[in-house]
Amino acid sequence: MSGEEFVPLSLTPLLIGVFAAIACALPGNFLVLRKQALIGDAISHVVLPGIVVAFLITGTVATWPMMFGAAGAAIVAVALIEAIRRLGRIEPGAAMGVAFTSMFAAGVLLLEQSDTSTVHLDVEHALYGNLESLIWLDAMGWESLWDPVALAGLPPELIRMALTLVAVTAFVWLFWRPLKISTFDEGFARTMGMRTNLLGLALVVVAAIAAVAAFDAVGSIIVIAMFICPPAAARLMTNRLEMQIVWSVVFAIAAAVLGYFVAGFGPLWLGFGNAVSAAGMIATMSGMILALTAIFGPCRKRLGAPAV
Amino acid sequence: MLWDALLLQLGYNATLVTIGACFLGIAAGVTGTFLFLRKRALVSDAISHATLPGVALAFIVMVSFGGDGRNLIGLLLGSAVSAWIGLLCVSWLTRYTRLAEDAAIGAVLSVFFGFGIVLLTVIQSMSSGRAAGLEGFLLGSTAGMLWSDAMVILVGGAATLALVLMFRRPMGMVAFDPEFAAANGLNVARIDLMIMGLAMAVTVVGLKIVGLILIVAMLIIPPVTARFWTERTDRVSLIAGAVGGLSGYLGASLSAAAPNVPTGPIIVLVSFAFFALALFFAPNRGVLAAVLRHLKFQRRVHMRQGLLALAQGQPIYEKLTLRLLTRAGLARADGVVTETGRARAAKALWDEKRWEIVRADQAFEGAAALYDGLRELETILTADQLTEIDARIAPPTGVPS
C-alpha cells in the first residue's frame, strides 16, 4: 500500500481509532479496579438522549452543543444512579440498570418523535459510529504531513480526539498518586485527607468526557469495549498498576490497529467484496486479546485462590 | 383512540402485540426478581447484548441454506445459543480469572455486541435488501408482526412463567442465602445457571417486541419497583410480575394509539413511571415515608428535650419545641408551663432517673441496650421491675434548716 492511498484513506481513521482507544482505556484501568466498569456502559447509553436533547434545543447537528448535551446527560445519569441508590437503598448494579435503560428509552422515543429525517442522526449511527468515513481528502501522500494547506483539511474529529487524549493523560498523570491510593485503599486515602468522593466523581467525569469525544467519532461500541477490555486484559498480565497502564495502552493500540485493518482488508483477503464495520471489529479484537490473556496471562488467577 | 387500544379494539395486529407484551412483562418481572435479589441484575445486560451475533449468524445460516432468513424461530434459536455462550463466558471469567463480575459483564457485552455489528455489516454486503428487519432486533419492531410470531412470543412467555413458578422456592432460597441453600442439598451453581437461563429465555422472547438494548429494563425495573412495596420474596415476584405485565400492556397500547411511538421505549418508560411512583410514595421504603419518619422523630426529640427543660425550670427559646409544647397544651405561648405540662415534665424527669438506674445496673443489660433517649420505659419493663427501680430512687429526706 503506497503513501498516496494510505495517508488520505487510512491514516486519519486509524489515528482516531487509536486515540479513542487509549483515551478510554486510561480511565478504564481505574474503573475496572474500582469495580465500576459498567459506568462506561451506562455513560455510553445515556449519550444518546443527551445529543437528541441538544439537537432539539439548538436545531442543528453541530458538534459542540452535542458534546455538551452528551456530557450533561452523563452527569445527570451519574446523579440519577446515586439518587436511586441512596434514596431507595437499591444495590448499585440495579440502580444503574434502572437509570441508563430509562434514559436510553427516553432518547429513542424523543428521536422518533422529533423530525430528524433531514439530519444525520439515528440510533444505528450512535451505536456503530462511522470510523471509515473520517478520511483526509486533502492529503496526497506522506509529504502532506508537512503541508499546512493540507493539514487544514484534517477531519475535526482527529483534533478533538487528540485533545481529549491529552486531557485524559494529563488528568491521570497529575492525579496519579491520589488516584492510585484511593483506588486501592479508600479508607487510608481519606485518613490522609484526600477528598475521595470528589476524586471518584472527577474520574467518572473524565471517563464521560473521553466517552463523549470517542462516541462522536467512533460510536458507543468501541467506547464500552475500550473502557473494559484492555484494562481487564492488562490486569491479567501484571500485579503492578504502572505496568497495567502500559499494557492496557499497548492492548488498546493493538486492538484498534488490528481491528481497523482486519475490518478493512480481511473480507477482501477472504474474497468478499465489502469491508465490515471497523468499530465492531475493533471491539471484537479487544475481546480476542482479553480471551488470550484470560487463558495464558501470567497473573490471571486470583492470589490465594485454590487451584481448580 | 387510547381507550380502543386499551380495550384491544385497535385491530388484529395491535391486539397481538399488546397481549404479547403483557405476557412478556409478567414473565420478565417474575424472572428478574430472582436476578435482582441475587444482586446480579446487570448480568441480563450481558445476556441481551450477546444475542446479537446469534441472530446474525442464524440469519446467515438460514440464507445460505436457501431459506427465508427471517424465520423468527430460527433467529430466536440462534440468539439463545449465542446468549448462552455469552453467559458461560461471564461465569468462566468471574470464576477462573481474577476479574470481577462487572468487568466480565462489560467485556462480554461489548465484545459480543461488536462482533454482532460486524456480522450485520457482512449481511448487508452479502444480500442487500433481504437483511431488512434485522436492525429491528436492536430496538424492537412490532410493525410487521405475524400471527406466528405473536404465538411464539405468547407460548415462550407462558412457558418461561410456568418454569419460574415451578422453581420459585429453590431460586428464592439461593437468592437470599446461598450457603443455607447449599447446606440444604441444593446445587447452587446449577440453580444460579437456571436463573440466568430463564432470564435468557425472557430476553430471547422479548427481542422482537422490545429489542435487545431495552429488554434489560424489563428484567430490572419491575423487581426494583416491587421491592419498595414489600419485604417478602413471594410478594416481590408477584408485584414485579404485575408491574411488568401492566407496563407491557399499557406501553403496547400507547404505542398502538399514538403515531411514531416505538413499542420498546414506551414500555420501558411506563415501567420507569411505576418505579418513580414507588420511589416516592411507597410505604416504609419510599422517599415520602422516610421524610415523614424523619419529621416524626424530630418532633419526638424536641418534645422530650422541651419537657426536660420545663422540669428543670429552664426557659425554652427554640421555636419548634415551644410550638410543639403549646400545641399539646403543655405550655403557653410565652413559655410558661401549664398544669398538665408540669405533670408531664415531672414524669419525664422521673423517667430519666429510672433510665439512669437501668443503665447502671448489670441486671437490666438487655433493657439498657434499647436506650435511645426517647423510648418509654413502660414499653420495655414490667410493672414489677419498674416498682423495683422506683424503690431505689431515693425520696427526698429531711430538708436542712
A99-155 tens-digit pLDDT: 999 999 998 888 877 766 555 566 666 677 777 777 777 777 777 777 777 777 778
The helix-helix angle for A38-58 and A63-88 (nearest 10°) equals: 130
Instruction: For residue B336, give Cα distances in angstroms to A70, A85, B332, B333.
Output: 61, 47, 5, 7
Residue B337 pairs in a beta bridge with B331
**pLDDT, chain A, mean:** 84
| Number of neighbours of residue B312 by Cβ within 10 angstroms | 10
Does the pLDDT at position A287 exceed 70?
Answer: yes
Q: List CB contacts (< 8 A) between B247 and chain A.
A: none
C-alpha cell at B3: 381507550
Q: Which residue has the higher pLDDT, B89 or A40?
A: B89
Task: Answer whether A214's CB lies under 8 Å from A23's CB.
Answer: yes
- Is A279 within 8 Å of B117 when comparing Cβ atoms? yes
Q: What are the pLDDT digits (tens) for B167-204?
A: 888 888 888 888 999 999 889 888 888 888 889 988 88
d(CA B121, nearest CA chain A) in Å = 5
Instruction: Nearest by CB to A93, from B39, B121, B122: name it.
Output: B39
Work out the average pLDDT over A86-109: 89
- Is A97 within 8 Å of B266 when comparing Cβ atoms? no
- Is B120 within 8 Å of A235 when comparing Cβ atoms? no
What pLDDT sits at residue A91? 87
What DSSP string describes B182-232? HHTT--HHHHHHHHHHHHHHHHHHHHHHH-TTTHHHHHHHHHHHHHHH-S-
Q: Minimal Cα distance from A35: which residue of B?
A: B102
Q: How confident is the model at residue B130 (pLDDT cuts 50, 70, 90)?
A: low
- Is A294 within 8 Å of B93 when comparing Cβ atoms? yes
Does the pLDDT at position B308 exceed 60?
Answer: yes
Does the pLDDT at position A307 exceed 50?
Answer: no
Domain boundaries, chain A: 27-131+173-296
Does the pLDDT at position B327 exceed 60?
Answer: yes
Q: How confident is the model at residue B298 (pLDDT cuts 50, 70, 90)?
A: very high
d(CA B66, nearest CA chain A) in Å = 19
Residue with cell 492510585: A180
Q: What are the pLDDT digits (tens) for B62-72?
A: 888 877 767 77
Integer Rg of chain A from CA: 20
Task: Give the ipTM of the model, two decimals please.
Answer: 0.90
Instruction: Nearest by CB to A228, from B110, B112, B118: name it.
Output: B110
- Is B42 within 8 Å of A128 when comparing Cβ atoms? no
Work out the average pLDDT over A289-302: 88
Instruction: For residue B378, give Cα distances in angstroms to A44, A137, B273, B394.
Output: 58, 87, 45, 20
Between residues 225 and 244 of chain B, which touch chain A (CB distance below 8 Å)? 227-228
Does the pLDDT at position B61 exceed 80?
Answer: yes
Question: Between A and B, how many CB-CB pairs are < 8 A?
Answer: 218
| Amino acid at the residue B345 | A
d(CA B237, nearest CA chain A) in Å = 16
Domains of chain B: 2-278 (1.10.3470.10), 288-392 (no CATH)
Taking the C-alpha atoms of residue B42 and residue A97, their distance in angstroms, rounded to an integer, is 7
Q: List CB contacts (< 8 A) between B105 and chain A.
A: 37-38
Report the percent of chain A where pLDDT is more than 90: 32
| Per-residue H/E/C for A249-277 | HHHHHHHHHHHHHHHHHHHHHCCCCCCCC
- Is B269 within 8 Å of A89 when comparing Cβ atoms? no
- Is B262 within 8 Å of A112 when comparing Cβ atoms? yes
Q: Which residue has the higher pLDDT, A57 or A171?
A: A171
What pLDDT sits at residue A306? 47
Report DSSP state, residue A10.
I
Q: How many residues does the structure list for chain A?
A: 308
Work out the average pLDDT over A52-56: 86
Does the pLDDT at position B136 exceed 90?
Answer: no
Can you say how many angstroms the Cα of residue B275 is from the centroid of all Cα atoms in its chain?
Answer: 8
Does the pLDDT at position B142 exceed 70?
Answer: no
Work out the average pLDDT over A289-296: 93
**pLDDT, chain B, mean:** 85
Q: List CB contacts (< 8 A) between A106 and chain B.
A: 265, 269
Q: How confident is the model at residue B5 (pLDDT cuts 50, 70, 90)?
A: low
| Superfamily, domain A27-131+173-296 | ABC transporter involved in vitamin B12 uptake, BtuC (1.10.3470.10)
Q: What are the pLDDT digits (tens) for B341-362?
A: 888 888 888 888 888 888 888 8
Work out the average pLDDT over B135-160: 76
| Amino acid at the residue A288 | M
Taking the C-alpha atoms of residue B186 and residue B291, their distance in angstroms, rounded to an integer, is 42
B247 interfacial to chain A (CB closer than 8 Å): no
What pLDDT sits at residue A294? 92
Q: How confident is the model at residue B1 (pLDDT cuts 50, 70, 90)?
A: low
Q: Which of B244, B195, B268, B211 is nearest to B49 (CA)?
A: B211
Q: List CB contacts (< 8 A) between B112 and chain A.
A: 287
- Is A222 within 8 Å of B114 when comparing Cβ atoms? yes
Which residue of A43, A290, A296, A302 to mutate against B (max B Cβ within 10 Å)?
A290
B107 interfacial to chain A (CB closer than 8 Å): yes
- Is A221 within 8 Å of B117 when comparing Cβ atoms? yes
Q: Minimal Cα distance from A103: which residue of B?
A: B269
Does the pLDDT at position B371 exceed 80?
Answer: yes
- Is A98 within 8 Å of B103 when comparing Cβ atoms? no
- Is A88 within 8 Å of B228 when comparing Cβ atoms? yes
Q: What are the pLDDT digits (tens) for B245-260?
A: 999 999 988 888 887 7
Does the pLDDT at position B12 exceed 90?
Answer: no
What pLDDT sits at residue A182? 92
d(CA B106, nearest CA chain A) in Å = 6
What pLDDT sits at residue A308? 42
